[in-house]
Structure 1
Amino acid sequence: MAGGMARRGGAAQKAVRLSGYADRVTSALDWPGFGQVSLAGLLFLCLAAAFAGAVDAVVGGGGLIQVPALLLIGPGGQPLYALATNKVASVVGTGSAVVTYARQTTVDWGSALPMAFAAFGGAVGGAAFAGALQPSVLNAVVLVALVGVGLYTWRKPELGVAETPRFKRVAQIAMMVLGGGLIGFYDGLAGPGTGAFLVFLLVGLLGFAFLRASATAKVVNVATNLGALLYFIPAGKVLWGLGLVLAACNLAGAVFGARLAVRRGSAFVRRVFLTVVVALVVSLGWKAALG
């Protein structure tokens, strides 16, 4: 009898301890700059940031993973905190990818930097309009564009496998500057698929190989992320503690992804590009279906 009571008492104490551990893992952290996320939420966001960094470094589309993860956890209580904090992690991840690409392949800085400056200006303007545009309208436009991009790339298996320049140098840079400004504006609006649109512009319109296009897109992505931050930081929407932790995770994933892309070449980047486009179409289509 006494032994049974002792066993029941031990089981009850163990249950209390387990309940205490669960409470600590799921309770909001009071760390400054973390937006009251829980330890479980933080671990989930770190894994998402590392995976997003790897995907983003290969061909773009990391926002498809990182932004929904942040919106799901909801640090700071408002979506704008998630979007702004995402830019901190992304700028570090894309920056490290640029360094990796520059060490292991050729980056045409003479054309990449003008495109990046134009994208930077576009992103500043886009971020300022982030709350003014109806998300449903933007999603519908992007969904149609992504379907077209995916079908065009799928139907042309030779696209982006090798360099096939279509314009002279001056015209090429002019088109890169114009395209960079427009896509930068879209990125400032926090729209998904920025990396995919950049890569398609460079491959489908200008004739870059996928590997070179991905390297150039990373340079432009750094600029668009910095441009958006130029708006978000004075607005006080960046959760710096959380952003820096996610930046470290994003960086680790980005270095891995960039090295993998360089090692596997343009054919591999093309396959990942199509996968990301399909995932974006499914994601946006699902949002549209849910209204």
Structure 2
Amino acid sequence: MTIIEHLGLVFIAIVANGFSALAGGGAGLLQLPALIFLGLPYPVALATHKIASVALGAGAGLRHFKKSTFEPTRLAIILLAGLPGVLIGAWLVLGIPPRAGEIALGLLTIGLGWYSWRRPQLGQVVREIGFSWSHALIGAAGLFLIGILNGSLASGTGLMVTLWLVRWYGMNYTQAVAYTMVLVGLVWNGAGALMLGTLGTVQWDWLPALLVGSFVGGYLGAWAAQHYGNRLVKRAFEVVTVLTGIALLLPVP
């Protein structure tokens, strides 16, 4: 690729990951189709995108760790419940055609945006959730299933984690996005990227531009989420979920 094309990749990554860090997911909405359009086969584009998305988590995480207070228990639950699912999903995608899953996930993702839009007060304030074993187990099971989708599909699963944290764990949108960016963007995507990078094929010479753009975009998006608050984050979440869902429904060239 030429210098101009590498700069184009940096720009695409900044925009895609900036919106993702603001909305709580959806980096694949722009980044993955761009990689396919530029000539990468879907499995190679997915593996390359997953590795680049780790820089999104690093950039957003750097900003959130400066401003947010994370609860160790919640960090452990999201990590331990979702990570096995991510590894299973990354292994499955290497042998299973992903198209049917993308269509189902696209419809579900659009539904998430509709659900949030129909509930104006959702995620605007923190709700206290009392502990019970049934609540804890259902919450962990939900994260495990989303982890499987995260490892096997391109986009939308970070958005699912964000809404799950808002709806099930009582977080506001700004809190939920912080957890999603740190744990899904950095740890979940890191595990999936390791699996795909080891067993699949990666376009390594494209990664420097994507990593730089993902890091910068993640940091800027996290700054915007903290600076403008829950209402903007909620609206960004709703827009990105619908657009991501539509993108997943469209056939991959």
Shift in Å at residue 140 of structure 1?
A: 2.6
2:164 equivalent to 1:201:
yes
Shift in Å at residue 179 of structure 1?
A: 2.3
Aligned match of 1:72 = 37
Tell whether the 8 Å contact from 2:150 to 2:158 is kept in structure 1 after alignment: no
Report the AA paired with residue 192 of structure 1: S
Alpha carbon RMSD of aligned pairs, Å? 2.2
Tell whether the 8 Å contact from 1:162 to 1:208 is kept in structure 2 after alignment: yes
1:85-134 per-residue CA deviation (whole Å, 9 max, x = no partner) reads 11221101112211211211222232123312332221111111114333
Report the AA paired with residue 74 of structure 1: G
Aligned match of 2:145 = 182
CA distance in 2, matches of 1:140, 1:167: 36
CA distance in 1, matches of 2:99, 2:214: 29
Which of 190, 205, 216 matches 1:226? 190
Shift in Å at residue 189 of structure 1?
A: 0.7
Aligned match of 1:90 = 53
Report the AA paired with residue 10 of structure 2: C
Cα distance change, pair 236–134 in 1 and its aligned pair in 2 (3 A): closer
Tell whether the 8 Å contact from 2:50 to 2:192 is kept in structure 1 after alignment: yes
Aligned match of 1:32 = none
CA distance in 1, matches of 2:15, 2:26: 11
Aligned match of 1:62 = 27
Aligned match of 1:158 = 121
1:182-236 per-residue CA deviation (whole Å, 9 max, x = no partner) reads 1111011123201110111111232210011111111221222112122122225
Tell whether the 8 Å contact from 1:115 to 1:173 is kept in structure 2 after alignment: no
CA distance in 2, matches of 1:226, 1:236: 15
Secondary structure at the aligned position of 1:183 is classed as helix
2:73 equivalent to 1:110:
yes
Mean Cα deviation higher: 80-89 or 39-48: 39-48
CA distance in 1, matches of 2:12, 2:132: 39
**Structure label with greater radius of gyration:** 1
Shift in Å at residue 264 of structure 1?
A: 0.7
Mean Cα deviation higher: 242-251 or 106-115: 106-115
CA distance in 2, matches of 1:123, 1:181: 8
Mean Cα deviation higher: 232-241 or 63-72: 232-241
CA distance in 2, matches of 1:205, 1:219: 19
CA distance in 2, matches of 1:154, 1:163: 18
Which of 224, 237, 241 matches 2:205? 241
Higher relative contact order (CA 8 A, sep 6+): 2
Report the AA paired with residue 87 of structure 1: K
Q: In percent, how many aligned pairs have the same letter?
A: 27
Which of 101, 110, 119 matches 1:147? 110
Structure 2 length-normalised TM: 0.90
List alignment gaps of at least 5 residues for structure 1.
Answer: 1-36
Shift in Å at residue 173 of structure 1?
A: 4.7
Shift in Å at residue 169 of structure 1?
A: 6.8
Cα distance change, pair 286–235 in 1 and its aligned pair in 2 (3 A): closer
Secondary structure at the aligned position of 2:212 is classed as helix
In the TM superposition, 1:124-135 aligns within 5 A as: 124-135=87-98
Tell whether the 8 Å contact from 1:119 to 1:223 is kept in structure 2 after alignment: no
